[in-house]
Chain A
Amino acid sequence: MNTDRASLEVTDLRKDFDGLMAVYDVSFAVDPGEIVSLIGPNGAGKTTIFNLITGLLPATGGSIRYGGKGLNGLKPHAINGLGLARTFQNVRLFGRMTVRENVMIGLHAKADYSLFSTAFRLPSARAQERMIRERALQHLERVGLADKAEDDALSLPFGQQRLLEIARALATEPNLLLLDEAGSGLNRPEKEELDRLIREIRNGGVAILLVEHDIPFVTALSDRIVVLEHGMKIADGTPAEIRSDARVIAAYLGEDIRDPC
């Protein structure tokens, strides 16, 4: 295990939407190379936590640290620069751009040629542009979309759009990848492919934080599961521990989380 990689530490995180406590004193950690899942009923605050970690929303209280560095108050691109990347529940690809160009956005911060050298097409700009194009293709190969590189991103079927979004996130070379319901809307074979991809990404040393509704999918994949209800953490443990936790069973109200549906 890579010891130089950072851990994510969320401590007493709180988000107050005008009096509505969306996230209430939630603490958890994601260690290097771990797959951790956030589960909980709708409105439990899972996506809000993702938005707080990635800097899209300011936290009301508590701290988010990554590798000992405080993330509170940093802008999203700066947080991305520290090695955190994410996908969105409702896939957010860039329209009127090709599949490859979408991934090239993920590589935006990997090049540093100036606007001036862009405007006059100086050799440094061209060389870096070529590098970005080639690297984008490598990331597309990882998710199996290399043959669609020049297609319009929004022309892809939904399952492949999810994969493209993951490729775009991977292009930023994260050490922690946050996947917001990456499996929703996917059919069985697509989900199996996603399961394989997530494991492969983890084996490459990237920790993964997953928000997911599909309990069997989550229990099969996760090292640890954090359960939320009404913005509060009610359980945190291995899949086996979670399965037998009385509060978790109650939270899912009769829904038998032990049985794959």
Chain B
Amino acid sequence: MKTLRARANTIAILLFAAAIFALGAVDLVRPFGVRFSDLTGRIVTLDTMIRIGILTIVVVGLNLLMGYAGQISLGQAGFYALGAYASAILTTLASRHGILPGMADTWWWPWLAIIMGMGLTGGFAYLVGRPILRLKGNYLAMATLGLGFIINIFSGEFPSLTGGNDGLTEIPRLRIGEFLLWPMQRYYFLVWGAAIAVILVALNIVNSRTGRALRAIHTSETAAATSGVDTERAKVQVLVISAMLASLAGSLYAHFQSAVSPNPFGFTMSVELVTMAAVGGLASVWGAPFGVATLYVISDVIKVRMEKVLPLQGGGYELILYGILLVLIMIFLPAGVTASGMQALRRLRRRRPADPGEQPA
């Protein structure tokens, strides 16, 4: 049973990775002059794919926190911002002000900055997690909401450090030795390599002692505690993991955009992240990439098509749609799109052996 599930996960990971890398290779090889975006009717571009990969990393973490442990976070964009700013500050200001000469200009410094960002964000999550995770339900939602706001507001202050509302620019591209991970066609592989590694790690956590404890906490914290689970520790642990993943994604975003500002990390982003997690399916690691992709594709389609059908001042159609989508999913597919799809698939597969026509001779 268990080994079967583990093997299914391994196969799924391999297939998924193969598909992702094949898609990425299209733009590197350009067979018959075909570009990646041609395959999708110009709706999904390589740029979009990279953004999907980056947010997948955040949503996997959010899914561990919300879907498995049942602890809501409406401030996940805050941790995402911390990672982005950590990378931005450490890679631009250090060399600009001549701090750490000889170190800040090496190829490995930005990588070290990513790790330091994850460490800082994780440490921050640990400190706020202890008091915040004592709260439950709506109170926890409010507290995390506030946390997200505070980080967002702070990132707009202290111009000498964060660049204020204009943010920071000229964040260097990542490279390994002399090999530059840019243009986008190369960066794609870094982002999706990281995303797939994160999915793999999350699957391992879910199918382990820690993952089991989180699911138990979701149903009954008291029963878990009296069965020997240190529930407080487990909740803080998963918050720290989700914060570190968000931070990693933030760093990848900073090096992708080459600029950061407070704007993309506001409340809207936190809501989008929660919507993506719900669409993909809470308590489903695999749901993350599909949840993110679904929302991206829908909003891109809407941005492009709706403006022609129904011109609305300033747009904002996506937000309306996110709302509608979230309500519909909660009503009709509470397990999420991916999870519901998988269930349907499993039901089909189970029915099949009973059908004599399908049996091999």
Contacts and interface: CB of A to CB of B under 8 A. Distances in A.
Interface of A: 54-56, 75-77, 79-81, 85-86, 88, 92-97, 101, 104-106, 108-111, 113, 115, 118-121, 125, 128-129, 132-133, 150, 168-169, 171-172
A77 B230 contact: yes
B153 to A, nearest CB: 32
Contacts of A79: 226
From B208, B209, B223, B226, residue with most partner A Cβ within 10 Å: B226
10 contacts: A56-B226, A79-B226, A94-B220, A97-B219, A105-B212, A105-B213, A106-B228, A108-B209, A118-B204, A132-B209
Contacts of B212: 97, 101, 104-105, 108
B218 to A, nearest CB: 8
B257 interface: no
Contacts of A125: 208
A94 B209 contact: no
Contacts, number: 102
B225 interface: yes
Contacts of B237: 115
Contacts of B210: 115, 118
Q: How large is the interface on B (under 10, 10 to 19, 20 to 34, 35 or more residues)?
A: 20 to 34
A76 B213 contact: no
A108 B204 contact: no
Contacts of B209: 104, 108, 111, 113, 118, 128-129, 132
B177 to A, nearest CB: 26
B2 interface: yes
B227 A56 contact: no
B215 interface: yes
Given A125-B208, A129-B209, A94 B229 contact: no
B150 to A, nearest CB: 28
A169 B201 CA distance: 30
A88 B223 contact: yes
Contacts of B220: 92, 94
B224 interface: yes
A157 B204 CA distance: 32
A12 B222 CA distance: 25
A204 to B, nearest CB: 19
Interface string B195-224: 000000100110011111101100110111
